[in-house]
Structure 1
């Protein structure tokens, strides 16, 4: 885009106004770009959350798992998942506890518990009764150790 500017040597207020408008347009473009990047990051990261305090390790999630390995964690971690009627999902849970407690479970959109794992190593199959948005959650209380919960759609 080319802009022809005629500068009046006596009155340069037109130039000042044009400069302000161009500067304002540039600022708006930058703000829009930042908002677009933030939205993309939110979409790519999926809907997951973690609350609480992790000491000496980490808790993280991806599209089909939540895992943690730490000296101590009191809190929770969760991940949303979309399910369709008739699908079968396999959930695998494995944990090692040195102290405290860890529980993993799956809830539906009404916060009703569908599956629960409370210790050791286990695998459960879930048949989906209706289209819904489930949430996979892990809760710990002064837990020292590690855990892994994974899920995948089975055929």
Structure 2
């Protein structure tokens, strides 16, 4: 089927089984995004990517992983964030509750205000959205929904 000929009804009802997502080949214990199609591939800066590369997700298993990424060598994280900014939509998905982040209930000993302001500055400067979800299951659901909706957006653009 030619995507340029799709109707809005067809796009709205596009089967999830026809959406393909790349998972970084280095990702151990990847999320289950079924019914989306998954293919392993070496990705440069994200853990999950749409087939077109415009939409990406970076996974953090804990708040400490996020904070480590924030405070690793400054030049390195800045370079990666600049690369991510080239994408149309970027999500960082953290498998933890926001309340734990906001109240400083994590192992890394970092200034709470510094950590919170870094997260906010990423959203403003780089367009990175940090989503806190309570657990792995919710992280999988959030990522599945993200790629499904981004795929529908791409189909609409092609159908114009």
Using the size of structure 1 for normalisation, the TM-score is 0.28
Structure with bigger gyration radius: 1
Greater share of residues in strand: 1
TM-score, normalising length: structure 2 = 0.27
